Structure 1
Amino acid sequence: MERDLLVERTQAGLARAKAEGKTLGRPSKTTQDQRSEIRHRLDKGESVSALARAYGVSRATISATRNNIQTFPNTSSDIFLLSKATPRTESWLK
């Protein structure tokens, strides 16, 4: 019963914050312009490691940008938007 009240109050608070236009979740490490530039530089043949060093982010962040994987900033769960599925990510969809 106490847990139900806690969950209900939390959900109400999150809904109110969203209605007020507040951005929830962790901020992105790169801007949309940076992600576009990263994809362009990858297409030109630059390595993931070199780009990670240049932008001060992890190789995983560069790889996620390359694969167009984005996390939804307004959710607390790990939900991914996959613009193109790869053999590794197809298993997540099942």
Structure 2
Amino acid sequence: MSWRVVTLTKLLDEAAALLRAYEQTGWAEWLAKDAMRIRSRDGYGIEHLLSAYGGMGSLNDVVLQRSNGVEVTMDFNDNERFSKLRSEIYELAMTCRPTDR
């Protein structure tokens, strides 16, 4: 497995864990499944992952926050980390796309 694929799947795992910590299970599962597909060399994993980045309600719109029913709290550091992960994942995924498109 190339270093790009190894790095990409590690970043996906980290992003999924961060999303789970904020109960963003839908996105966490999306990224975890794509990591599994990519590790198993399923070419659809990259395309499916990249499809998360387009349009309204996309991964780009996710903000990590917690709500206890009364107050909403956001951790600046976690949001900064997630934003960085999201960008790194996209950039790396673009370099891993199949060339026969």
Given the two structures, how large is their TM-score scaled by the length of structure 1? 0.27
Kindly indicate which of the two structures has a greater share of residues assigned to helix. 2
Given the two structures, how large is their TM-score scaled by the length of structure 2? 0.26
Which of structures 1 and 2 has the larger relative contact order (alpha carbons within 8 angstroms, sep 6+)?
2
